[in-house]
Amino acid sequence: MKTLTILFLATLLISCSQPETIYLDELDLSSMTSGWGTPQINKSITNGPLLINGEEYKRGIGTHATSTFLIDLQGNALEFSARFGVDDASVENGSIKFYLIGDREIIWESDVMRKGSDARDCLVSLKGINKLGLLVADADDGIAYDHANWVNAKVTYKNSVPKPVEEVIEEAVILTPPPPDKPRINGPSLTGVRHGSPFLHRIPATGIRPMKFDVQNLPEGISLDAESGILSGIAPAKGDYVVKLQAINEKGSDEKDFTIRVGSNLALTPHMGWNSWYIHYDRVSDAIMREAADQMIATGMADYGYQYVNIDDCWMVKVSSDDPEIGGPLRSKDDKLLTNKRFPNMNTMTNYIHKKGLKAGTYISPGPNTCAGYVGSYEHEALDAKTFADWGFDFLKYDWCSYGRVEPPKSREDYIAPYTLMWGELGKQKRDIVLNLCQYGMDQVWEWGGNVGNSWRTTGDLGLAGGSGMPGFYNIGRSNADHWEYAKPGNWNDPDYILIGWVGSAIKMGEGVKTDLSPNEQYFYMSMWSLMAAPLIFSGDMAKLDPFTLNVLCNHEVIGVNQDVLGKQGEIIREEGDQMIMVKDLADGSKAVGLFHVTGSATDPLDHFDWGDRKSNKMTISWEEISMSGFLRVRDLWRQKDLGEFEDGITLEVPYHGVQMIRISDE
């Protein structure tokens, strides 16, 4: 009887326990995602005070769209209360919506909030809810300047304390087998060059070193360094020169036919290389560029065909800057471009890169200044094109930036004009310079970009792309995929760079952090870009290339799909539910197929959260769907292994947010 009384009293005590409160800033926010780096406690995302329309708050979380946080309430919460609004550090176009999602249902949402709006209040019942999702979303106009504040945000609960939902950590399984000790020549089987231009090609070959190289049937004017495998010289007369590349080491040899096509077209396969922007931003320097070239060789990336080492913005002099390192006169007395002090001599830097058999790229805007505020090419196009050639550059990214402010476009011709001008000036140089149009897909650039350049961005910056059920790269890639008909040798749709490994926040231009993409998402990313015949330009930290990242970047069979000489972009043939299938025709008559596991909608607030139900998916591809028939051979490209012969089709298990990338052939 005494025991029963004690139990009754204990139960009564628990049932009568008083509600408690925990503030958002008291929780571990390490799993809180933000479109601009780590959320800030008791300050704005820009590290200033929490200010909403002039009113300062001492307690809260400063974040940036798109931002998510999932809290485990264990069914014991009573209510959520907070004030919210756009931080005053935003600009006029900052616009945000705030959501509360309870167990996969929207239980509260705000109106569109803008800079200058008064802070609003929310008070929402949480009774019976197990998981609460906090979402800060853009208002369908991009995430730029979407600085958001949750202030005095708290959960009232009984018994068990709310805690963040633990992040699911996916094992980083390396699928790509290591290269054999015996030589294997990788990369494309042809390259384009113009008559009389400098020729440079490093034979990409894996295998143990030392290795010797030989080339049969080399045209006059081009020679081989047998130790390094670097071909260099001056391009001969117009025509196709088929040579045989050979690589020999103590374990054996390999050979490959390679065509040097001398004509008017460059970039006959998509560009491969590295760009400084998403890791170094305005910190880029001569030393960083040289280190990137060193790492391209040391890590073996160059042995798979990566060759361009490209500076992005911030190498010039910054307009109106009083910083002695980056400020000063914008041009010389004879109007030539000047570099800032971080780049003491462009010629010696490009020579350093070229001696490794690699190529050097640069960047500028057709406007008076670049996106980061450094001097542009406006009204100096001819001189700048000559300067780039004289400096030894092989690639130019030409970024719209400020051009629209000085030449507001009213017609398609206005959009084309700056690129036509630079394209023409580059064509006059005695040096081949590949031109990349960076103008974010304006005026359906895919319809005309091939007339004035070699590749063109089809969307806004990938680093600024918001995610949803899928990460931001998917939304960019999916948009790019729609333009498959416009890609061909020398003309490529460009969905922006490969952001894996260590990358920095694009909005904050911050130091690099390890990607938050899951391993399967990274395989998805590289597979999609390869099937789309997109330029393979990595923009992470070259000094922090770990084995997993290299396994994603350096699979010669996956890259072979991207570099296939037929030059066709893959086409989506099925898109339903959580399945997407993309097919790419290859020069030998086979087909590369990507079976992709996708989830969610880019516009559905519920799909911004991982509700803990990650499942793989069985997907079937029939031979009829890809216009083939009979018994066909199937090869797993990531694992580089034959799966066997199959009649009518094949069914494969595709991991959550992952891919199965296969090659289907009749021999």
Please, which pLDDT band fits residue 602 given cuts at 50, 70 and 90? low
**CA atoms of 396 and 361, how far apart (whole Å):** 6
Of 110-114, 147-151, 609-613, the one with minimum mean pLDDT is: 609-613
pLDDT at 623: 98
Give me the chain's average pLDDT, please: 93
Cis geometry, peptide bond prior to residue 210 (ω within 30 degrees of 0): yes
Q: What is the mean pLDDT of residues 315-334?
A: 97
Find tokens 């069979």 and name the residue: 557
pLDDT at 17: 65
Q: Which residues contact 525 (CB under 8 A, 6 or more apart)?
A: 473, 477, 498, 500, 517, 552
Write the CA distances from 657 to 8, 233, 465, 660, integer angstroms.
Answer: 50, 46, 17, 11
Write the CA distances from 555 to 312, 513, 581, 645, 661, integer angstroms.
Answer: 26, 24, 21, 23, 12
Q: What is the mean pLDDT of residues 590-609?
A: 87
Q: What is the mean pLDDT of residues 214-235?
A: 98
**Residue closest to 310 by CA, chosen among 369, 364, 229:** 364
Q: What tens digit of pLDDT does each residue of 471-491 get?
A: 889 999 999 999 999 999 999
Say yes or no: do domains 19-164 and 574-665 share a fold: no
Of 11-15, 255-259, 632-636, the one with minimum mean pLDDT is: 11-15
Q: What tens digit of pLDDT does each residue of 396-410 get?
A: 999 999 999 999 999
pLDDT at 464: 75
- Domain segments of the chain as ranges: 19-164, 184-262, 272-408, 574-665
**CA atoms of 424 and 642, how far apart (whole Å):** 48
Q: What is the mean pLDDT of residues 20-31?
A: 90
Please give the distance of CA 50 from its chain centroid, rounded to a whole number. 32
What is the CATH topology of the domain spanning 272-408?
Answer: TIM Barrel (3.20.20)
**CA atoms of 549 and 404, how far apart (whole Å):** 38
Both tokens of 523, joined, read 């395989």
pTM of the model: 0.91
pLDDT at 35: 64
pLDDT at 467: 65
**CA atoms of 487 and 491, how far apart (whole Å):** 6
| Active-site residue set | 399, 461
Q: What is the mean pLDDT of residues 293-317?
A: 98
Q: What is the mean pLDDT of residues 64-92?
A: 91
pLDDT at 423: 98
Q: Is the pLDDT reported for residue 9 higher than 50?
A: no
Helix (H, G, I), strand (E, B) or coil at 550: helix
Please give the CATH architecture assigned to the domain spanning 19-164. Answer: Sandwich (2.60)
Contact 425, 390 (CB under 8 A): no
pLDDT at 36: 64
**CA atoms of 360 and 348, how far apart (whole Å):** 11
The alpha-helical segments, DSSP class H, found in 183-317 are 277-280, 286-298
pLDDT at 7: 44
Q: Which CATH class is domain 574-665?
A: mainly beta
pLDDT at 10: 44
- Domain 184-262: CATH superfamily, name plus number: Immunoglobulins (2.60.40.10)
Query: Would you state the torsion angle of the CA atoms of residues 519, 520, 524, 526, taken in this order, to the nearest 10 degrees?
Result: 30
Q: Which residues contact 280 (CB under 8 A, 6 or more apart)?
A: 288, 504
